[in-house]
């Protein structure tokens, strides 16, 4: 188990983040990377991504299972990259913060073994960075309001995210009920809500919830949506 002193319990955490409309470039949304930095770099090259004007927003789960978790974590330092927190980021944060053998084993069983080759000080720094990632994000795009949440948004209204309970936070990170129950009820107060986490054979829409995780870590396609183009087609 990673053993280190941290101040994670003292870190300032904003559970929600808002991004203004991108007036000079495009916005892209990427599904769970799970350590596949090279596949992302290839996709951005094919999309002619403009690193000075375009933005890339992630639905979380940057790490574990794939070959280059450190490379994906390095994205957090890029000015063009934004992300919500996924359940795999939460496992890293929980393991470092709680110093629990149970949490350590859970993370290892879910793809965290790559961390065994990393120095403690680097793991601590990653945990501090990941603890700052929001659980939900609101993005303005072409005059519409888009929500980003890793697993699913469980509330009836997007405005409820501001006062979300601990149970709701768990659902935002781990939940699968909307897909399992084929729940088509729309989330009020937002035009679309995008999530990853649960494997779908192709991008799936239920009400105004959009699920984009096709399983890049299983050698399935890495989903990268041009949000402006996606909205224009609807």
**Ordered mean pLDDT values, 10 residues apiece, the chain (234 residues):** 48 76 97 98 98 98 98 98 97 93 94 95 95 95 97 91 72 95 96 98 97 96 97 95
Structural domains in the chain, sorted by start: 13-84+135-232 (3.60.21.10)
* pLDDT at res. 15: 84
* pLDDT at res. 46: 98
Q: Rounded distance, CA 201 to CA 219, Å?
A: 12
DSSP sequence for 43-105: HHHHTT--TTT-EEEE-S--SSSSS-HHHHHGGGG-TTEEEPPPHHHHHHHHHHHH--HHHHH
* pLDDT at res. 132: 94
Q: Is 53 a catalytic residue?
A: no
What are the residues whose beta carbons fall under 8 Å from the beta carbon of 131, sequence distance 6 or more?
A: 8, 11, 13, 93, 97
Catalytic residue chosen out of the listed positions 34, 88, 150, 197: 88
Count of beta carbons in the 10 Å neighbourhood of residue 98: 13
What is the distance in angstroms between the CA of the first residue and the CA of the last residue of the chain?
A: 48
């Amino acid at each position: 188990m990673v053993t280190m002193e941290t101040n994670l319990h003292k870190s300032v955490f904003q559970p929600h983040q808002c991004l203004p409309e991108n007036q000079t470039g495009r916005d892209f949304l990427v599904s769970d990377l799970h350590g596949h930095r090279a596949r992302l770099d290839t996709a951005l090259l094919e999309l002619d991504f403009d690193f000075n004007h375009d933005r890339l927003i992630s639905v979380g789960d940057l790490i574990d299972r794939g070959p280059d978790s450190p490379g994906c974590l390095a994205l957090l330092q890029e000015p063009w990259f934004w992300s919500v927190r996924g359940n795999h980021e939460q496992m890293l944060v929980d393991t470092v913060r709680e110093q629990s053998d149970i949490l350590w084993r859970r993370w290892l069983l879910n793809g965290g073994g790559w961390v065994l080759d990393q120095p403690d000080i680097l793991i601590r720094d990653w945990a501090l960075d990941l603890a700052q990632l929001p659980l939900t994000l609101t993005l303005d795009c072409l005059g519409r309001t888009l929500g980003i949440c890793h697993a699913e948004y469980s509330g009836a209204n997007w405005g409820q995210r501001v006062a979300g309970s601990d149970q709701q936070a768990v659902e935002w990170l781990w939940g699968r009920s909307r897909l399992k129950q084929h729940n088509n009820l729309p989330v009020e107060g937002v035009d679309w809500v995008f999530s990853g986490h649960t494997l779908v054979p192709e991008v799936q829409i239920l009400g105004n919830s959009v699920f984009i995780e096709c399983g890049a870590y299983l050698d399935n396609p890495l989903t990268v949506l041009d949000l402006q183009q996606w909205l224009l087609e609807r």
